[in-house]
Amino acid sequence: MDFKVGFPWPVGPGGDGGSMELLNPSLDNELGSSWRTSLPPGALPEATLLPLASTGWSWRGGETEASNPTSAWRSESFVEDGTWNANARAPIGYGSVTGLSLNTTIAGMRNNYGSFFARNTFTVAPGGFVLVVNDRAAFEMRYGPGLPVAGEWEPGQYLSHCGKRLKLSHGSGTAVHDFEYDDEAPWPLAAYGVGMSLVLIDPLLAHGHGQFASWQASSSSSGSPVLAEGVSPFAQWMASNGFVDPLAEWNASGFSNLMAYALGADLTGDSKPLVSLVEFEGERYPVIEFRRRLGASEVRFEAQVSFDLDDWSGATVPHEVIPRGDGTESVFIRPATSISAEPKQFLRIYVSLN
């Protein structure tokens, strides 16, 4: 086969970065549209092919918008009116296509309109994902084509930098997730504005999406829509440093490799947790301050308190989060009990892998 440079071949593999990979081994490798820019291992599964004779399609000519609002036709609950043609078979198109017989020909499209609408059902595999973007052309210019973009936000309906209610629902409107995120501490401040995005620490989390502790800033300064944040960043860090045992001591520091990674000790040089006193609503509390590595999606942090060094609990309260600009953020957590109620208190940070 001969590959070429430039559209319709992937433009991402330009000599500095990704390579080209087939979307699916069954595709014709002589066609540029059969290829995509390579992605990090595990970022996207092999593409699912719809056979030439796939059925269940409905289509409508693009003389006018298919619905009002314009995105309503993408909803599972959308009711097609008489302008839709049902029970079509793929491929759908018009005119002659070399070596390909159209199973559904759109009459009247030539010289009248340049697009059409097509509907069918699809399934997102367990662990898979789709993307909703603000501007598809701009998105593909930055991240490359071939990503599972399900659609674009309606004008004025993009996600706000300043916090917003977000609802994911079935086509019937039944909520799967319905929560509000925020841009103020204790939510991750590194994700505010231009740069990092908010990502779930545990993508399989069923509840708690409205809690700041469920989220962290993305590992990439431009977000990471092509890479699941759970794709083993700690394992990659261990391998790149030649480490094998997560619990082995890191650089004679007294930290394990896991602790050094979690606290960003390799980024800051000194990430030992500190304890101080703060006053809150007229009461004094001990506060533990520790560095948290941005993008450490495999790591779970828990601040614990004890009154006797024997029994430890997670009865603590988030106090403040401050981005440090060095790949870490400072996290401040205090116990729920004040010094006046319990003069002797001990604090520690417990770190584990999800």
Q: Please name which of 321, 328, 221 lies closest in space to residue 268, comparing C-alpha atoms.
A: 328
CA 309 to chain centre: 39
Q: What are the average pLDDT values for consecutive 10-residue runs of the chain, which has 354 residues?
A: 74 64 76 72 55 81 86 84 88 71 81 84 67 83 74 76 78 75 80 74 70 73 62 70 85 89 86 89 92 83 92 88 87 92 92 77
pLDDT of residue 204: 63
pLDDT of residue 311: 92
In this structure, the number of other CB atoms found within 10 A of the CB of residue 325 comes to 8
Strand boundaries in the chain, DSSP class E: 20-22, 35-37, 57-61, 85-88, 92-93, 104-105, 116-119, 131-133, 149-152, 164-169, 175-181, 198-200, 215-217, 274-280, 283-293, 299-306, 316-323, 328-335, 346-353
pLDDT of residue 124: 62
User: Which residues are CB-neighbours of 120 under 8 A, at least 6 positions away?
Assistant: 50, 54, 56, 57, 58
pLDDT of residue 234: 78
pLDDT of residue 49: 63
Domains of the chain as residue ranges with CATH? 131-217 (no CATH), 232-354 (2.60.40.10)
pLDDT of residue 164: 80
pLDDT of residue 42: 46
Which residue reads 């007229």 in tokens? 282
